[in-house]
Amino acid sequence: MRAYVIGNVAVDETISVMSMPEAGASILGREETRDLGGKGANQAVVMSRTGLLTTLVTAVGEDFRAQTIRDQLAGEALDARLLGSPHRSSDFSIIFTTPDGENAIVTTTESAEALTLSEALAPLKDAAGGDLVVLQGNLSEDVTRGILAEARRRGLTTAFNPSPLRPYFAELWPLIDIAFLNRGEAESLTGSSGEAAIQRLAEAGVTQTVLTLGGDGAILAGGSQVLATVPARATEVVDTTGAGDTFMAVALASAALRSTRLDAKAIHHATAAAAITVSRRGTRSAFPTQAELAGILAGE
């Protein structure tokens, strides 16, 4: 089994501030880290560290950030398909973090939005039925729809994280097997929360739903039936950037490596991995290592 993660890659600049800037304010901050990020890259990096065969399909420019991206991805055990173009700039994120661990993120998506459907689909020619196609919200609408339709036609399993949020995501559910949503995404896209949101998604065709609730943990549902409710691990919260990406990647990988559907064990593994990510500053450098993930995946 292989996971094809098709999404964005970005250089993350994390700036610590005492409180979030308000409109019109000029405030002081301190650069904490410059790291590899972007939701597509985050999920692919964490998945590959679990030992699941992972291909990342993404777009970059040909600029100083692209070099940073290439160097960082070269240090990971994944098959990185970086589609470069001199006509665009590589994507980047500015992340504000506060002393209590909250974050606010601004991400550019020029490269991610320029990825074409044929570029995105080319690596899928080798995919076999049951392989995972993992998407987030940074690609253009046509490409996102086109990948999901092709994956469905080919019998691949689609997993979708509707972030950053866009209204048209609410039309995609019939093409999605597994959905991961946080509280805000569930409320915006279903108009409800908790079990009511799960019910709406099941009616729209989603086979398995995971609602992540930050420090309150996560809920796994099969169709409209809640299968597991798992509290978050108590940990020192330093920086929550990438918690959701770590969670999704480890949940999917845990199940895929055991050749099963998402189950309570996968959600426990994801919870343990995400607790490591929130306890460290940065993005890629905050993710659990291969050794840490091997320990987590060997446990219950």
Known binding residues for ATP? 182, 212-217, 244-245
| Rounded Cα distance, 159 and 47, in Å | 13
Q: Does 107 bind ligand ATP (CB under 6 A)?
A: no
Binders in 182-201 for ligand ATP, by CB under 6 A? 182
In the complex, the smallest distance separating the C-beta of residue 295 from ligand ATP, rounded to whole angstroms, is 17
Q: Are 201 and 235 in contact (CB under 8 A)?
A: no
Stretch that binds ligand ATP, among 52-60, 80-88, 240-248, 286-294 (CB under 6 A): 240-248
Q: Which one is catalytic: 131, 177, 245, 263?
A: 245
- The number of residues that bind ligand ATP (CB under 6 A) is 22
Q: Are 274 and 218 in contact (CB under 8 A)?
A: no
Of 38, 137, 162, 242, the residue at the interface with ligand ATP (CB under 6 A) is 242
Q: Does 244 bind ligand ATP (CB under 6 A)?
A: yes
Sheet of strand 10-16: strand arrangement: 30-37, 10-16, 92-97, 103-107
Known binding residues for K(+)? 239, 241, 277, 280, 282
Task: Identify whether 126 is a catalytic site residue.
Answer: no
Stretch that binds ligand ATP, among 43-51, 65-73, 244-252, 292-300 (CB under 6 A): 244-252
Binders in 269-288 for ligand ATP, by CB under 6 A? 271, 274-275, 278
Q: Does 240 bind ligand ATP (CB under 6 A)?
A: yes
Distances (CA, A) of 194 to 18, 130, 164, 180, 299: 32, 29, 20, 13, 28
Categorise residue 36: left if φ over 0, alpha if ψ from -120 to 50, beta otherwise.
beta
Distances (CA, A) of 15 to 11, 197, 238, 274, 286: 13, 34, 13, 21, 15
Establish how many alpha carbons lie within 13 A of residue 151's alpha carbon, considering only the half-sphere containing its beta carbon: 31
Q: Does 247 bind ligand ATP (CB under 6 A)?
A: yes
Which of 259, 292, 294 is closest to 277 using CA atoms? 292
In the complex, the smallest distance separating the C-beta of residue 185 from ligand ATP, rounded to whole angstroms, is 8
In the complex, the smallest distance separating the C-beta of residue 243 from ligand ATP, rounded to whole angstroms, is 4
| Rounded Cα distance, 22 and 265, in Å | 41
- In the complex, which residues of this chain contact ligand ATP (CB under 6 A)? 182, 212-215, 217-218, 232-233, 235, 237, 240-245, 247, 271, 274-275, 278
Residues catalogued as catalytic: 245
